[in-house]
Amino acid sequence: MIDAGELLHEAEQRLAGAGVATPRADAEVLLAHALGVQRSRLGVLVALGERVDPGRFPDLLDQRAERVPLQHLTGRAGFRALDLHVGPGVFVPRPETETVAELAIVAAREVDAPVVVDLCTGSGAIALAVATEVPGASVHAVELDPMAHAWARRNVDEFAPGLDLRLGDAGTSFDDLDGAVDVVVSNPPYVPPGAVPVDAEVALHDPRVALYGLGDDGLQVPRRVVAAAARLLRPGGYVVVEHAEVQELSARAMFAAAAWTDVRSHRDLTDRPRSTSARRR
């Protein structure tokens, strides 16, 4: 048995030395997970000077120090009101994508019984946010990678069993919905070739198929998403696509065709241009 406060302090120092950006928070999450208690309960144990059996905590700490994503170790990732299942083989949803989901949700709420399509759904995060926050929405999602699709299926089965989840290509999977969709949303792969993500958690553990968007500028896949959206959306329908902040002008150029109007750039919570939206003429 070890004093919980001392255990956390030592873990924080270990993770800080390993370059983890939020060592205290990560140590608390991992210890709470190992003890099978809520993080708030862990705070009580520390305040009371309680001694605990660390259980799996040392092993989890070793892996986190090696920059295995925190979400892989706990098996969960928070996204808006959802606590999604994630792990190796699926892109861990990020806070910046929550603003993309918000744009899609706001647009969907403007329509009675909206039809919404999420292209390149990954864990299913955006599609499930729409399905759980927009009553009456008919939500459809597609993922190309079988491993990511398996994680999305697990999440769909838990949070929104009626969601139409498909395994396939974003450009061709919804021919049956041509011209009938109100909102298309996507967080596609968009990292340019040769651009290595800064964080080891991303570079070493996120699937390459979820990161690299192909083409010289990384926007080959996003352009296919925009082309699919032009086919899927009804007149006046809304599309929003996530991208890197350095791709703002190139992303706007994806909507230069006559099919689009009302092209807008949107900033995330850190005031970076991270998505672009448009309306189908």
* Rounded mean pLDDT for each run of 10 residues along the chain, 281 residues in total: 91 96 96 94 90 93 95 96 96 94 98 98 98 98 97 98 97 95 97 74 75 81 97 98 94 96 95 97 94
- Is residue 149 domain-shared with residue 31, that is, in the same domain? no
The label of the residue with tokens 């009302």 reads 262
143 annotated ligand binder = yes
Cα 251 to Cα 223: distance, rounded to the nearest angstrom: 9
- Is residue 57 domain-shared with residue 83, that is, in the same domain? no
Asked, for residue 100, whether it belongs to a domain, the answer is yes
Query: Which two three-digit tokens encode residue 44?
Result: 């009580």
3-state SS assignment for residue 253 = helix
- Is residue 141 domain-shared with residue 59, that is, in the same domain? no
187 annotated ligand binder = yes
Quick check: 121 and 163 in contact, CB under 8 A? no
**Could you list the residue range(s) of the whole structural domain that residue 92 is in?**
77-280
Quick check: 115 and 140 in contact, CB under 8 A? yes
Cα 251 to Cα 276: distance, rounded to the nearest angstrom: 7
pLDDT score at 198: 65
pLDDT score at 12: 96
- Is residue 59 domain-shared with residue 171, that is, in the same domain? no
273 annotated ligand binder = no
Quick check: 88 and 63 in contact, CB under 8 A? no
Asked, for residue 72, whether it belongs to a domain, the answer is no
Last residue of a domain, which of 15, 33, 66?
66
- Is residue 274 domain-shared with residue 198, that is, in the same domain? yes
pLDDT score at 211: 73
CATH number of the domain where residue 103 is located: 3.40.50.150
Cβ-based neighbour number of residue 271 at 10 Å: 8
- Is residue 93 domain-shared with residue 180, that is, in the same domain? yes
Question: DSSP string of 59-114?
Answer: HHHHHHHTT--HHHHHTEEEETTEEEE--TTSPPP-HHHHHHHHHHHHHHHTSSS-
- Is residue 37 domain-shared with residue 125, that is, in the same domain? no
133 annotated ligand binder = no
189 annotated ligand binder = yes
Task: Specify the number of domains making up the chain.
Answer: 2
Q: Give the pTM.
A: 0.92
